[in-house]
Amino acid sequence: MTIFQTFKDFIKVGSKADLYTKCEPFLKESGGLPLYRGYGMELSAKLHGQREVTVRKDRKPRDSNKETHEIMNAFFMKKYGVNVRSEGLFSVGDVDAARSYGHPHYVLPVGEFKYIWAELNGKPVRDTLVVAQKIRQAINLQPSAKQQEIAFDVLNQFTWHSDNLKKAITSGAEITLLCDKAIIIPVTDKSYSPAEIESRYSSLIKHD
């Protein structure tokens, strides 16, 4: 048994019927394609099935240092008016990429939302940890220079997007969701990749 035909069909079924109304902006923007997020065993157990969560606005860096985290926040505050690194919910359209962080869960922003993703030389950035690493490398090469100026120069080498969510999902880019609440659902059955969904159900997605 597959968990969905299209992702929109999945959340219309049974007890998940109310999700379509709650998450309609996301479903329209994504063209019905799912986003995933990996959770470690302990947190996954706390979620225990479908759950609506409040997105924290004070996220602390796990894989990058505090200085780089704060510099990136300053860059995004200037560009988009939000501390993306502290307030964002990281997700990806590739279930296997999400699985590398823990048990994969569907993640659906509730109500209105925004999002950020990036490309470098026309290729999607699949993990923004790469961005943080580039910043640290550049700063280490010029330790006497102003760190923020160096970091902003690095960040401006990337093309940052806040639109075309469907392209972001199918490209495999890491997508930072900006929302107040999200619904998290564990992946329990067979899942299709975005490319498989689009191939099998393109007419439904395009004309839904």
Q: What pLDDT digit, counting tens, does each position of 1-26 carry?
A: 333 445 656 665 544 557 778 888 99
- In a domain? residue 1: no
What is the extent of the structural domain holding 164? 7-207
Give the model's pLDDT for residue 67: 86
Tally of structural domains, the chain: 1
Give the model's pLDDT for residue 140: 85
> Structure pTM?
0.81
Give the model's pLDDT for residue 202: 45
Residue 207 has pLDDT above 50, yes or no: no
- In a domain? residue 184: yes
Between residues 3 and 73, the one the model is more confident about: 73
Between residues 62 and 182, the one the model is more confident about: 182
Q: Residue range 56-84: average pLDDT?
A: 88
Could you report the per-residue pLDDT of 106-150, keeping only the tens digit for each?
899 999 999 999 999 999 999 988 899 999 899 888 766 688 999
Of the CA atoms within 13 Å of residue 7, those in its CB half-sphere come to 29
Residue 44: which residues within 8 A CB-CB, separation 6 or more? 102, 103, 105, 186
Q: Do 185 and 105 contact (CB within 8 A), yes or no?
A: yes
Residues shown for the chain: 208
> Among the listed ranges 16-25, 66-75, 187-196, which one has the minimum average pLDDT value?
187-196
Q: Residue range 46-71: average pLDDT?
A: 78
H/E segment holding residue 115: strand 114-120
pLDDT bracket for residue 203 (50, 70, 90): very low
- In a domain? residue 128: yes
- In a domain? residue 2: no
> What is the CB neighbour count within 10 angstroms for residue 202?
12
Give the model's pLDDT for residue 188: 66
Q: Do 55 and 115 contact (CB within 8 A), yes or no?
A: no
- In a domain? residue 87: yes
What mean pLDDT is reported for the chain?
81
Give the model's pLDDT for residue 23: 87
- In a domain? residue 194: yes
Between residues 156 and 201, the one the model is more confident about: 156
For CA atoms 189, 194, 195, 199, give the dihedral sign: positive
- In a domain? residue 77: yes
Q: Residue range 35-54: average pLDDT?
A: 70
